[in-house]
Each structure stands twice: as C-alpha cells, then as structure tokens.
Homo-oligomer: A and B are copies of this chain.
Amino acid sequence: MIRHVVLFTFVDTVTSAQVDALAAALDSLPGEIPEIVTYRHGRDLGLSETNFEYAVTADFASEEDLAIYRSHPVHLRLIADHIEGNVADRAAVQFPLVD
C-alpha cells in the first residue's frame, strides 16, 4: 500500500466558500475512482501559525493505482476547477505504508 500526501496553501483571494467547494469535490472522488482505497482530507485546524492550510491523504494498493488516480479525468477536472489559480504552495510525498 502507498500513502499519497499533499499539503496546500491558498492564494489570498481564495474564499472560505471556495475551500468548501474544493472539499466537496474531494469528497466525490472515492465514488468516481475505484482505485482509491482510503481518502481523507481537511482544512488545517489552526493549531500552528506556520502550518499549510489544507491536507489530503490518499491510500492506494500500488503505484499503478496511484498513477490511474493522478491522470483520472475526474481528478484532472477537480485540479482545473479548484486547485489551479487557487493554490500558492504545495508539498507532496508518496511513501510505502507498512502493515
């Protein structure tokens, strides 16, 4: 199993409603992309001032399934509609999940 982790910060013009729309779009992905084993995401809780603003953690059975997700049309549409132009910074890692 592989865990794909992405953290985002948003540009200053992004509204809370736009983040809500991103969250709703992310919620729809597991129903559209069967390669997703587990999908968790959410706004940063604000416990630390230096934090990024949003996190996605997604688990896949294999690198192949992760690749299918990354190039899936529904995922690409989400990126075009909710990520592009809205994200100021992005940090990502994919790592093997042990157990």
Contact = CB atoms under 8 A, between A and B. Distances in A.
Number of copies: 2
A10 interface: no
Interface string A8-19: 000000000000
Majority secondary structure of chain A interface residues (helix, strand, loop or mixed): strand
Contacts of A24: none
Give the size category of A's interface with B: 20 to 34
A7 B40 contact: no
A57 B73 CA distance: 28
A9 to B, nearest CB: 9
17 contacts: A3-B55, A5-B5, A5-B7, A7-B93, A41-B95, A42-B95, A42-B96, A42-B97, A45-B94, A45-B95, A47-B63, A47-B66, A48-B94, A51-B92, A51-B93, A53-B93, A89-B91
